[in-house]
């Protein structure tokens, strides 16, 4: 029996209109009522999913969790209590920041556990994040010295083309210390501590809850979801997932993110 579902948010749980459909809400509530834990496993910060948690009946609930910042932060929903965090060295983040800010067409995001700072926010990027990330700051200075004493968990660039993202990945792998480099939403290249990814976090949460890897379902669509899809007992790609994600998944849904793929998984494997 599966006891924990970890689920990506954007392009997986959320429809293109940035909401959870009523059918999926009801399916998740049924699963939770049966004793299954449901944990968003997102690249975003945990504060950005509070409205979704409320809709699911999971906001401020003991024993329910969010995995955020690409696996760098695990938070219990009750009082938003951080139970695990993996940070990055300031010097590494600063070097990456300098690399990103040199390209005015790249939008640069830097995350702490509960804050988000964005540089070079253009109209196209604003349209994408609006309704997803509404609580952020836009520093005027092209310096992150003010973050030197903060706990930085992730830095990402929004990069126009996949070719550029792949070239950046290669460059950073060859010129920076080892870290986890992933892709998401067909627009971001993401940098985390090598100790932080969605798979490691899912397994750690399972261990915390006494749940074995084979009792975990992981649902996602893109590159940053691959570690959890590989780690879980049942790794699922939604129908709109990238082809390389579908290839490593145990199950591919018939439905895309606009047609209740998470409900499909619950109906097939939980109900």
Q: Same CATH topology for 4-85+196-269 and 90-192?
A: no
pTM: 0.94
CATH of 90-192, one of 3.40.50.800, 3.30.300.30, 3.30.1240.10, 3.40.50.850: 3.30.1240.10
CATH classification code of 4-85+196-269: 3.40.50.1000
Strands of the 154-158 sheet, one edge to the other: 116-119, 107-111, 154-158, 188-192, 180-184
Predicted confidence (pLDDT) per residue in 153-210, tens digit: 999 999 989 999 999 999 999 999 999 999 999 999 999 999 999 999 999 999 999 9
Residue 116 near residue 110 (C-beta atoms within 8 A): yes
Predicted confidence (pLDDT) per residue in 63-102, tens digit: 999 999 999 999 999 999 999 999 999 999 999 999 999 9
Predicted confidence (pLDDT) per residue in 219-271, tens digit: 999 999 999 999 999 999 999 999 999 999 999 999 999 999 999 999 999 99
Per domain, the residue ranges of the chain are: 4-85+196-269, 90-192
d(CA 253, CA 271): 16
Helices (H) and strands (E) in the chain, counts: 9, 13
């Amino acid at each position: 029996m599966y006891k924990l579902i970890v689920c990506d948010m954007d392009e997986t749980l959320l429809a293109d209109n940035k909401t959870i459909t009523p059918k999926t809400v009801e399916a998740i509530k049924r699963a939770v009522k049966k004793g299954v834990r449901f944990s968003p496993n997102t690249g975003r910060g945990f504060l950005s999913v509070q409205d979704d948690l409320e809709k699911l009946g999971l906001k401020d609930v003991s024993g329910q969790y969010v995995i955020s910042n690409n696996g760098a932060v695990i938070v219990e929903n009750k009082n938003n209590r951080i139970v695990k965090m993996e940070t990055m060295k300031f010097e590494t983040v600063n070097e990456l920041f300098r690399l990103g800010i040199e390209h005015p067409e790249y939008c640069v995001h830097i995350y702490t556990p509960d804050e988000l700072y964005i540089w070079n926010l253009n109209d196209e990027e604003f349209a994408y994040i609006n309704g997803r990330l509404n609580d952020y700051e836009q520093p005027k200075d092209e310096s992150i010295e003010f973050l030197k004493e903060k706990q930085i968990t992730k830095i990402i660039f929004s990069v126009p083309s996949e070719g550029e993202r792949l070239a950046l990945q290669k460059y950073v792998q060859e010129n920076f210390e080892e870290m986890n480099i992933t892709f998401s939403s067909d627009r971001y290249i993401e940098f985390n501590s090598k100790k932080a990814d969605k798979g490691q976090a899912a397994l750690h949460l399972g261990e915390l809850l006494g749940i074995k890897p084979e009792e975990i379902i992981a649902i996602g669509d893109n590159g940053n979801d691959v570690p959890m899809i590989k780690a879980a007992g049942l790794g699922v790609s939604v129908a709109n997932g990238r082809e390389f994600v579908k290839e490593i998944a145990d199950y591919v849904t018939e439905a895309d993110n606009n047609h209740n793929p998470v409900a499909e998984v619950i109906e097939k494997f939980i109900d």
